[in-house]
Amino acid sequence: MRQLYLVALVLISLSGTVTASEPERVEPPFWWTGMAEQSLQLLVYGRDISRLEPETNSADVTVLGTETVENPNYLFINLNIAADTDPGTFNIALKEKGKARFNFEYTLRSRTPGSASRRGFDSRDAIYLITPDRFANGNPGNDNSDDTLEGPNRQHPGGRHGGDIAGMQQHLDYIAEMGFTAIWPNPLVENDQPGYSYHGYSATDHYRIDPRFGSNEEFRQFVASADARGLGIIQDVVLNHIGSGHWWMKDLPDSDWLNGKGINKGEFEITNHSRFTPVDPYASEVDKRGFLDGWFVDSMPDMNQRHPLVANYLIQNTLWWIEYAGLSGIRADTYAYSDPDFLQQWASRIHREYPNFSIVGEEWTRSPALVSHWQRKEDEAVSGGRLKSMMDFPLHYALREGLADSESWNSGLITMYEGLAHDFEYPNPNRLVIFAGNHDTSRLYSQLDGDLNLYRMAIAYIATMRGIPQFFYGDELLFESPKQRDDGIVRSDFPGGWQGDKANGFTGAGLSEEQLEAQSFTRKLFNWRKRNPVVHNGKLMHYAPLNDTYVYFRYNDDKTVMVAINKGSEPFAVPTGHFSEVMNGKKSATDVISGKQHDIDTLSIPAREVMVLELE
């Protein structure tokens, strides 16, 4: 009898009787009316769901068709949302042979007024970069999560330490009072990996904030609270890869959803990191594919963005977070590792919905020519995946090496001078994001051998140079690390962010005199920068180093600012005649930091000092 029952089950299955389950996931989870693009593609996941046909009960939302993949557990529903559709909830029935098997509701929300015209970030801004897990633990109750693998271990440099969205929100006033106008947190979406999950670059759910950081709604509230203080939030977006623990990996939609022949070792290659191959006129196809299709590391599967459904999923996910959270910008991780045609689709769609929105791409290279390749002209439509803003890694290296190396005809300050001279290669240097350090580099203070004078020079440079400055959390407190990359130590805990900390960087309690001096210097400079358009978009003129001193000017019709970096062991008596193109007619100078006034004719830059001076 039992054998007959099993045979009957098999026959029923083979006959095509529905075995589908109701949807387990629908992504995006909701959408908005009034978007420039009326089409929307839903990913619906459930057992054998691909055999079902969708139908809506809305006169304004119509089903254009469906798409299926190799895996029958996925159904992609293409919808059209009429331009005059009202916000609200409608029903989608999943039918077989005209009979509804399952129903689910889908909601279209109303966009925030002015959403499409939101301002992004530009040279008026100064960005504060935070590794959220290491900044402040505002809610110890979320350090563990029932549905994630890794718990807290603050003693382990590579473990989770408990910093979260609540911690960042509690210290928004500190960030604003330091003179910053935007915050870039490392990725906050779920990273349910067995270890080293705190950094955020191994997404396991694109639509969920990691519960150990908080909830989606808490992130949304954080963005709103930041906005109320004049702080925009820049989301760190990873297009190139996901985490090996992503929910897709247990039941991949398609055999070509990822790059590589499979998901086991030996079935995929690690990227060759040959970042010049996309632009190299002599590059072989094997090298191009080795760069674009190779996995970043074993635990980061590489997305095949040539797959139309993958591309559309990633595009819609980015748009969803911009609209849902109210973002002011995006930092695109490992930008050049993604498929160039996809990058163009992605950037074009974002700018169609948000014409003034800002995206900065990461191209980690010393080559200005390669960075320039990815930057587009201001009046140019998005093409080839080019962006208005890129991370200025060449200037980053020039700054660090120029300050750390001894002075000679081809080292030291001349490195900074020549690094800046390469600006002829860029369509718009003022749109580049400049920085002295970030989450992937050694700490600035350590790279300068713990020299507070050199540190001040670097901070003054970042605050007054052309472009959009980005500042790494903790550098204002002289955080240290090995010179050789050690991520866990580089991304160390901000003092005062945890109960029981002996020092508190937010209040100044327990800090050393050097830390207080560095913090005060940074605060004064960036608050001054915030008030002075001359360093936002003024002209720039610099002079070749003279007597171990590098001098440049920012100027417009209203103001002239002089920055003088003296690495020498002797004071630098400013030869006003040498700088007469800018200094002619100026009588006095006011030190931005001390407020002290100087007579131009007797102006001298102390040994191993930097001065930022307003000329009158």
Distance CA 186, CA 188 (A): 6
Residue 496: which of 488, 486, 506 has the closest Cα? 506
**Can 362 be counted among the known catalytic residues?**
yes
- Amino acid identity at 393: F
**Can 333 be counted among the known catalytic residues?**
yes
The pair phi, psi for residue 94, each rounded to 5°, is -105, 115
Q: Which residue's entry shows tokens 């490392």?
A: 186
CA distances from 417 to 203, 299, 448, 546 (A): 40, 41, 18, 11
CA distances from 560 to 345, 466, 555, 585 (A): 42, 14, 4, 11
**Catalytic member of 133, 205, 323, 333:** 333
For residues 66 and 76, is the Cβ–Cβ distance under 8 A? Answer: yes
The pair phi, psi for residue 310, each rounded to 5°, is -65, -50
**Catalytic member of 362, 392, 423, 609:** 362
What ranges in 326-380 are assigned the alpha helix state H? 340-353, 368-374
583 phi-psi bin (left φ>0, alpha ψ -120 to 50, beta other) = alpha
| Three-state SS at 313 | helix
Number of neighbours of residue 46 by Cβ within 10 angstroms: 21
Residue 615: which of 556, 568, 573 has the closest Cα? 556
Burial 336-346 (b: 16+ CB within 10 A, else e): bbbbbebbbbb
What would the 3-class secondary structure string for 392-404 be? Answer: CHHHHHHHHHHHH
CA 527, 529, 532, 533 dihedral sign is negative
Q: Which residue's entry shows tokens 């979320």?
A: 142
Distance CA 615, CA 40 (A): 56
For residues 231 and 180, is the Cβ–Cβ distance under 8 A? Answer: yes
Distance CA 432, CA 518 (A): 25
For residues 70 and 255, is the Cβ–Cβ distance under 8 A? Answer: yes
Distance CA 384, CA 374 (A): 8
For residues 539 and 554, is the Cβ–Cβ distance under 8 A? Answer: yes
Q: Which residues are catalytic?
A: 333, 362
